Amino acid sequence: MFNQRDPTSALIRDLQAVVGKSYVVHAPEDLLVYEYDCSIDREHPSIVVLPGNSEEVAAVLKLAARAGMPVTPRGAGTGISGGAIPVGRGMVVALTRMTRILDLDPVNRIAVVEPGVINLDVTKAAAQHGLFYAPDPSSQKACCIGGNIAENSGGAHCLAYGLTTNHVLAIEVALPDGDVVWLGDPTGLEPGYDLRGVFIGSEGTLGIVTKAVLRLLPAPETVTTLLAVFDQTDYASAAVSAVIAAGIVPAAVEMMDRLAIQAVEASLHAGYPKDAAAVLLIELEGLRETVAEQAQAVAAICEVQNARAVEVAQSAEQRERLWAGRKGVAGAFGSIAPNYYILDGVAPRTKLPEVLRRVEEIAARYEFPVANVLHAGDGNLHPCILFDDRVPGADRRVLEAGMEIMRVCIDAGGALTGEHGVGIEKQDCMAWVFSEDDLAAMAKLRPAFGADAKFNPGKVFPGARGEWEGSTGARRIMERALAAGAYI
């Protein structure tokens, strides 16, 4: 029971009148499951509301605005930069009841979905029409479309197909004051400012997606997957650049180093050689004749770059097993350490050998094992620092090591994030790549959408989390690390 004298009690009653009593969560023990995502931060919400449709989302936001309650949108909770952490507590609006595919039009190749629809379910629904949805994050069996839009998620096949923003034609959005508007157009050709593009990747700071019109693509005639095995990570990195330089753009070029391979083979048995220093998983799609020629060319390039073996998947089952290893690698790290911190940086392809060497040096200095997993084709690297958070001071040191690695990516001419977003994790790194004028211009977007600092508070901008009392965890650790000047 909630306290009748608590001012939030009236809000809870009003919310229950909108969505139903069972869909307003406020008991402390029930709120625990909403205090985290897949980052290493935590914050306890005050209330969680689970609306069932656009109208209920709008009504909930109107009540929150009237009460002055901070709002944090949440999808499946698979984000890795803290975007769904309710900084400053407040209200979490969880979209996990909104899971309907409202329309699938195979003629116009579009799907209209609610934000809680699981990414992979879109492709499953489209497959009977010979179509698929291209963005494929590693968490695609669990992550939802609304969260993908918030973070502009990528995936293994973004090298050829692009990120989420390239496949979302229009979105229905509930603004912070409860107004509902459409941004974009199902044709993808709406004139004027691209407000759809502005909203995608805004990390839940401008409003909540309530419907999305997705672009579907025809399934390729044939798919060929190659596994190239190397005795040095430098050789594998050089092969990636050599393939692209030859004018071949595979659908995907993924890389894993020795520790990642060993973790996968210990639990998933994907078929990677355990003694390899690195493997490349290269996928080619298209017309049968073209793919056959490209496969021969890619194999030859890898051999020139010192691949000790290049294997072509001989069946759909073998291909699926190879990909299951790549997409299941994060969970496999549990066989090595109880915790991992996954980073998301970008470096030019030609700088990958140098960057990976620096990553190894930093991890060794901090005495942590690190497993490297890369969307190598577009230079998006995910060093995974393995640690045990029961060891005193381990969380502080792992975050310090992570920020040093991010600085290496920036100094190499890369970017802060390839697909995970800024969130809490990298907000204080924004000044490394953006000037004060840049950041001020970005900040003007929030009031333009009717949002203020209470809408997904404590995210993206430098110092944002520190503005909210009661915040804990990674923010304070990173403040101390940044103040030490180790990465500047």
Q: Are residues 232 and 213 in the same domain?
A: no
* CA dist list (Å): 98 to 50, 145, 268, 274, 477: 9, 11, 32, 43, 36
Give dist(CA 318, CA 338) in Å, integer: 30
Q: Are residues 278 and 166 in the same domain?
A: no
Q: Is residue 444 part of a domain?
A: yes
Q: Are residues 361 and 388 in the same domain?
A: yes
Q: Are residues 350 and 476 in the same domain?
A: yes
66, 94, 122: which is the final residue of a domain?
94
Give dist(CA 202, CA 204) in Å, integer: 6
Q: Are residues 123 and 233 in the same domain?
A: no
* Gap between the terminal Cα atoms of the chain: 50
Q: Is residue 488 part of a domain?
A: no
Q: Are residues 449 and 469 in the same domain?
A: yes
Q: Are residues 211 and 260 in the same domain?
A: no
Q: Are residues 245 and 328 in the same domain?
A: yes
Q: Is residue 351 part of a domain?
A: yes
Asked if 209 contacts 164 with a C-beta cutoff of 8 angstroms, the reply is no
- In which residue are the tokens 């508070």 written? 457
332, 353, 388: which is the final residue of a domain?
332
Q: Is residue 2 part of a domain?
A: no
pLDDT tens digits for the chain (488 residues)?
Answer: 334 445 568 999 999 999 999 999 999 999 999 998 998 888 999 999 999 999 999 999 999 999 999 999 999 999 999 999 999 889 999 999 999 999 999 999 999 999 999 999 999 999 999 999 999 999 999 999 999 999 999 999 999 999 999 999 999 999 999 999 999 999 888 889 999 999 999 999 999 999 999 999 999 999 999 999 999 999 999 999 999 999 999 999 999 999 999 999 999 999 999 999 999 999 999 999 999 999 999 999 999 999 999 999 999 999 999 999 999 999 999 999 999 999 999 999 999 999 999 999 999 999 999 999 999 999 999 999 999 999 999 999 999 999 999 999 999 999 999 999 999 999 999 999 999 999 999 999 999 999 999 999 999 999 888 777 444 444 444 444 344 433 32
Total domains in the fold of the chain: 4
Indicate the angle between helix axes 288-304 and 233-245, nearest 10 degrees: 140
Q: Are residues 364 and 477 in the same domain?
A: yes
Give dist(CA 277, CA 329) in Å, integer: 16
| Alpha helices by DSSP H, 68-136 | 119-127
Q: Is residue 469 part of a domain?
A: yes
Q: Is residue 189 part of a domain?
A: yes
Q: Is residue 360 part of a domain?
A: yes
pTM for the structure as a whole: 0.91
168, 193, 218: which is the final residue of a domain?
218
What CATH code is carried by the domain that includes residue 207?
Answer: 3.30.465.10
Asked if 209 contacts 124 with a C-beta cutoff of 8 angstroms, the reply is no
The parent domain of residue 119 ranges over 101-218
Asked if 431 contacts 482 with a C-beta cutoff of 8 angstroms, the reply is no
Identify the helix (H) or strand (E) that includes residue 146: helix 145-151
Q: Are residues 308 and 370 in the same domain?
A: no
Asked if 355 contacts 381 with a C-beta cutoff of 8 angstroms, the reply is yes
What CATH code is carried by the domain that includes residue 241?
Answer: 3.30.70.2190
Give dist(CA 321, CA 271) in Å, integer: 8
What CATH code is carried by the domain that includes residue 68?
Answer: 3.30.43.10
Question: What are the backbone dihedrals phi and psi of residue 204, each rounded to the nearest 5 degrees, phi first?
Answer: 75, 15
Q: Are residues 50 and 114 in the same domain?
A: no
Q: Are residues 136 and 87 in the same domain?
A: no
Q: Is residue 1 part of a domain?
A: no
